[in-house]
Amino acid sequence: MDRIDSLPTDNICGLRVRPGKPLPFGVSHVPGGLNFSVYTSAGERCTLVLFHQGAPEPFAELPFPSHYRIGDVFCMVVFGLDFEDLEYGFRIDGPYHPEKGDRFDPTQILMDPHARLIAGRDVWGQDPNWQRPYPYRARVSLDDFDWQGERPLEIPMQDLVIYETHVRAYTQSPTAETAHPGTYAGLVEKIPYLKQLGINAIELMPVFEFDEFENSRLHPDTGERLYNFWGYSTVGFFAPKAGYAATGKSGMQVDEFKQLVKSFHKAGIEVILDVVFNHTAEGNERGPTLSFKGLDNKTYYMLTPEGYYFNFSGTGNTLNCNNPIVRSLVLDCLRYWASEYHIDGFRFDLATILGRDPWGAPLSNPPLLESLAFDPILSSCKLIAEAWDAGGLYQVGTFPAFGRWAEWNGLYRDSVRRYLKGDAGMVGQIAQRVLGSPDLYRMSGRAPATSVNFITCHDGFTLADLVSYNDKHNEANGEWNRDGGDDNHSWNCGAEGWTEDLGIQQLRRRQMMNAFAVLLTSRGTPMLLMGDEFGRSQHGNNNAYCIDSPLTWVDWTLLKSNADLQAMVQALIAFRHQHPALRVNRFDGPPSSLLPCSSFHGPTAWQPDWSGESRQLAWMLSCDHQTPAGDPAVDIVYVATNMAHFASWFALPAAPEGYGWQLCFNTGDNQQPILRDQPRIDSGLLVGERSVVILQATPLPTPMG
């Protein structure tokens, strides 16, 4: 039966219309037409602007009659539109008093903040027509997909091994040998590799629509074009980046991205999105007006009393996240990605901004963070905070977590880097880090998996560069090496950059293996950076946010040339999955039937050397568990690290009765770092200089007869 509100009541500009519904915001399909809904608190008049796809001029401009406004929402149903050929925007008229925060300008066509499909940057790097009015155009998505019963995986956080990736950088190089380089479809082609590596979560650097041409410029010396390559500057919060889709030209990025999620889930790999809610692509008072500025500037942005933009993000503006309107936009957005795209989790860029009040002061109980933590649709999504911002707020360990939020643990990164290069006074720090940082998280009742442990991420050196460069080399960014951090805690092992010295090459290789060995035997949630497992380099660039070239693209030939490193990482990940003792998610974990849940050792068993000069530490982790067959078992792992420049004898703690030690990994063994035959070790072993050994205790074979 037809609904009685499915017929037009009015005619505007030759189009049949009727008053719409305020929810949902944005555009939605209704019988025979499309419902448009947009919010503005201080805008006085609103006009719906309609374009045929790609047309320079609109074919219709429909002013909203006054009775089409409910509260602060303009809403209208327009009948008879061809939604596939449609691009739409809004003009809002109202006061223009920047000093009071109002910047209404009816000459601007504004993008729908809820747009689920955005045209304008359909093919990556294709020069846009700069003269075209309304550069990023909202389109209409169908929001349907055949999931075939697939659903989010809900892998417990402590069991995850996260792999941070950039969609384009991962497969753009011809060495990736994919049919669809640099796209979602290209990434799907790499799933078999990732599955074999053993990771079970992929974290994608921003995929919300952004403009790679934002702040694009030519390198002052080389003339090379520099881009917004990483994408930490959102144009549309509800739309996947079209330029990352092989089908972006046909406007099918929604289907292609959903297919990506479905394919990853089929392979048992979760998809986590890096989301940027701290600022938008509209910049400060000199930046363009794309959407929020013209819709409701003072609602969406944090403004100084004079009407200027607060800049806690370091990028010009700061989204006013704890305003109820913005809060609901963020919540709507994440609910949409979780329900419509089956996304498993979110990592929030500069997340402390989400806990600031409209004037920038940190809130003790931020409503947005609380809403996200307790939202029913997001209840099984991972929420991961980058717990610092450019305004100087650093909340690692104190981020308002509401029992739900995990954090990128910056202290883990710094401590492990310093320990690996042999800094004095680090063993106490390392003891905290490998147990999931109880010094940071225990008092507030959080668990080890709260700590996302990482040594490298997109921001900073790659692992190969961490062991090859003492200093950053960011000349390619065109800022005379002034950009990027200087606190890298890196060590070049004896020569800056590329070297023919075999001893240095060998040490670097061992240091990379040491890093992975520590990372993958630490409690908490480990995260790897794409390509680090086979020694990806950016030639010392620690801030390659603007480089779209082989410098940032993953070079897949390294997979062959560094096959031993990759095999080591793969084996370490498999070892982590096999050993529940490494994944215990309680700081007060009960002892196993045979041993404490965790204990520390030095060259002498049960006697760690906590002195400032000590560079040796071993940890033994144990828990009770059940074998896949359901039998009770005890898991025991022992990791000995020696970051001194000399070898040390480590006496092993006595294995429990009936158990014996088996050597599984030895980074000090250049020929055979993975010991596939897992030889039995009795009382102790020599741990080479700057080396890590990993052992497991397993039941001794019962004597026959």
Partner 1 sequence: MSLTIESISHPSHHLINLSGEVDTKTATSLMDALAELELAALLELRIDMADVAFLSSAGLRALLFAKQKMPYESRLVVIGANTAIVEVITKTGLTEAVTLVADVSLLS
Element (H, E) at 395: none
Distance of closest approach, residue 146 Cβ to partner 1, in angstroms: 6
Residue closer to partner 1, measured from CB, 187 or 520: 187
| Per annotation, catalytic residue among 203, 209, 256, 349 | 349
CB 406 within 8 A of CB 347: no
Q: What is the closest distance, in whole angstroms, from the C-beta atom of residue 435 to partner 1 in the complex? A: 42
Q: Which residues make Cβ contacts (< 8 Å) with residue 305, sequence separation at least 6?
A: none
175-192 burial, b at 16+ Cβ within 10 Å, e below that, comes to bbebebbbbbbbbbbbbe
Question: Closest separation between CB of residue 185 and partner 1, Å?
Answer: 4
Residue 228 Cα distances to 186, 232, 245, 283, 704, angstroms: 21, 8, 17, 14, 67
Residue number with CB closer to partner 1 (150 or 159): 150
CA-based nearest residue to 42, from 295, 320, 282, 290: 295
- CB of 184 vs partner 1, minimal distance in Å: 8
At residue 514, what is the residue type?
N
Nearer to partner 1, 262 or 293 (CB): 262
**Gap between the Cα atoms of 141 and 607, Å rounded:** 63
Structure-token pair, residue 368: 């947005």
Tell me the three-class secondary structure of 25-87, residue by residue: CEEEEECCEEEEEEECCCCCEEEEEEEECCCCCCCEEEECCHHHEECCEEEEEEECCCHHHEE
Q: How far apart are CA 550 and CA 38, in angstroms?
A: 42
57 is catalytic: no
Q: How far apart are CA 213 and CA 546, in angstroms?
A: 10
Catalytic residue among 87, 209, 211, 386: 386
Task: Specify the pairing of strand 73-79 against strand 69-70.
Answer: antiparallel
CA distances 625 to 17, 91, 381, 524, 580, Å, are: 64, 62, 26, 18, 7
Pick from 378, 343, 331: which is nearest to 25 by CA? 331
- Of residues 84 and 221, the one with the C-beta less far from partner 1: 84
Q: Is 349 a catalytic residue?
A: yes
Q: Which residues are 623's β-sheet partners?
A: 635
If one counts every other C-beta atom within 10 angstroms of the C-beta of residue 513, the result is: 23
3-state secondary structure (DSSP) of residue 486 = coil
Which of 165/263 has CB closer to partner 1?
Answer: 263
CA distance 669 to 692: 10
Least distance in Å: CB of 324 to partner 1? 35
* Nearest alpha carbon to residue 602 among 431, 392, 374, 409: 431
Q: How far is the CB of 162 from partner 1 (least distance, A)?
A: 24
Reference 475, options 555, 540, 537, 535; nearest CA is 540
Pairing type for strands 117-119 and 137-139 reads antiparallel
From the CB of 246, what's the least distance to partner 1, in Å? Answer: 5
Give least dist CB 342 to partner 1, A.
13
Instruction: Specify the residue, 9 or 250, whose C-beta has the smaller distance to partner 1.
Output: 250
Reading the block at residue 188, the tokens are 């799907």
Q: Which residues in this chain contact partner 1 in the complex, by CB under 8 A? A: 82-85, 142, 144, 146, 148, 180, 183-185, 245-247, 250-252, 255-256, 258-259, 262-263
| Shortest Cβ 183–partner 1 spacing (Å) | 8
Rank residues 263 and 415 by Cβ distance to partner 1 and give the closer one: 263
Measured in degrees and rounded to the nearest 5, phi and psi for residue 554 equal -65, 125
What are the catalytic residues? 349, 386
